[in-house]
């Protein structure tokens, strides 16, 4: 019947949108790491996606019965702590020694670190896709015929909560305001008594924690392998679409990419099934042509 067929298409469309939003939230969380580091240091961390992947594998390792066999809810904060420490140590032990070097050198360094992290993850956990066992795996909710996975809904809810928490942190707390001051004018912040180098290390630690959350959420939705770190490329596009100076823009950029992928795959003409792979970058090109600073650009003029 035409009515039943139309109703079925609407339900499929809603499920498609929810799935796209869940993927977009993961892209957005990785993009948040890009933006936080860029705002604090004006550097681009192309290993952010690999931090995400490593955070997921840490959680998987902690829950593995052959290793620690921890409860999932204990493994999650432990993985976040480990990734926070890794981010802090990376800035403190590596990037501080590159002070004064060009941003190009730092970009190349982070790309190399990404390759190393993928190799290490493959050596320790293998290169085959593995699944993270979660208490809500395979659990679905039925909303009037629309069957939605709890994992997808949880990704959306956690992303909203984390984004609001980061906004409050940066705008209301003393440490968050110090981070913003250090990002806007490092010299002035230093003269005002702000420990700029320590603040930058804390930003890297915070980006590691956010990456771990993104990785755990991504792994809860499907299998993960070392090459999953390459999702950082899409997250970089999301950050560029939203604007590298804006945390909300990073999330919006991630949602745009997350939605455009399934929609392009679903409604692409016959023979153009691969258009979903290039659709995010096509959107990026269009945005950069008409709004080079991104949708939520926060261009600041610096006095020399």
Q: Which of 45-49, 91-95, 174-178, 258-262 has the lowest mean pLDDT?
A: 174-178
What pLDDT does 145 receive?
Answer: 67
Average pLDDT value for the chain:
84
21-37 core/surface letters (b: 16 or more CB in 10 A; e: else): bbbbbbbbbbbbbbbbb
Residue 251 has pLDDT above 80, yes or no: yes
CATH code that applies to domain 2-290? 1.10.3470
Cα gap 252→234, rounded to integer Å = 13
What pLDDT does 92 receive?
Answer: 92
- Band the pLDDT of 54: cuts 50, 70, 90: very high
What pLDDT does 301 receive?
Answer: 45
182-211 core/surface letters (b: 16 or more CB in 10 A; e: else): bbebbeebeeeebebbebbbbbbbbbbbbb
Q: Quick check: 96 and 197 in contact, CB under 8 A?
A: yes
- Band the pLDDT of 1: cuts 50, 70, 90: very low
Mean pLDDT value of segment 137-152: 77
Residue 43 has pLDDT above 50, yes or no: yes
- Band the pLDDT of 140: cuts 50, 70, 90: confident
What is the token pair recorded at 252?
Answer: 């919006």
């Amino acid at each position: 019947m035409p009515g039943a067929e139309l109703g079925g298409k609407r339900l499929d469309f809603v499920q498609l949108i929810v799935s796209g939003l869940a993927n977009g939230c993961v892209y957005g969380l990785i993009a948040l790491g890009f933006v936080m580091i860029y705002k604090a240091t004006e550097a681009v961390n192309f290993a952010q996606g690999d931090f995400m992947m490593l955070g997921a594998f840490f959680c998987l390792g902690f829950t593995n019965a052959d290793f620690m066999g921890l409860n999932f809810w204990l493994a999650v904060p432990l993985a976040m702590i480990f990734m926070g420490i890794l981010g802090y140590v990376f800035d403190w032990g590596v990037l501080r020694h590159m002070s004064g070097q060009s941003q190009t050198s730092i970009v190349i360094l982070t790309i190399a670190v990404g390759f190393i992290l993928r190799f290490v993850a493959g050596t320790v956990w293998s290169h085959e896709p593995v699944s993270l066992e979660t208490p809500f795996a395979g659990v679905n909710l039925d909303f009037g015929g629309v069957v939605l996975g709890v994992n997808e809904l949880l990704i959306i809810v956690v992303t909203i909560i984390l984004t609001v928490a980061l906004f409050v942190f940066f705008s209301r707390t003393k440490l968050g305001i110090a981070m913003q001051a250090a990002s806007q004018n490092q010299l002035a912040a230093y003269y005002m008594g702000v420990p700029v180098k320590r603040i930058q290390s804390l930003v890297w630690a915070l980006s590691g924690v956010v990456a771990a959350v993104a990785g755990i959420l991504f792994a809860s939705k499907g299998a993960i392998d070392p090459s999953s770190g390459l999702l950082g490329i899409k997250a970089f596009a999301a950050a560029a679409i939203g604007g590298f100076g804006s945390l909300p823009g990073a999330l919006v950029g991630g949602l745009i990419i997350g939605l455009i992928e399934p929609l392009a795959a679903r409604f692409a003409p016959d023979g153009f099934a691969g258009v979903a792979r290039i659709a995010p970058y096509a959107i990026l090109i269009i945005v950069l042509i008409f709004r080079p600073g991104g949708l939520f650009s926060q261009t600041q003029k610096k006095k020399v």
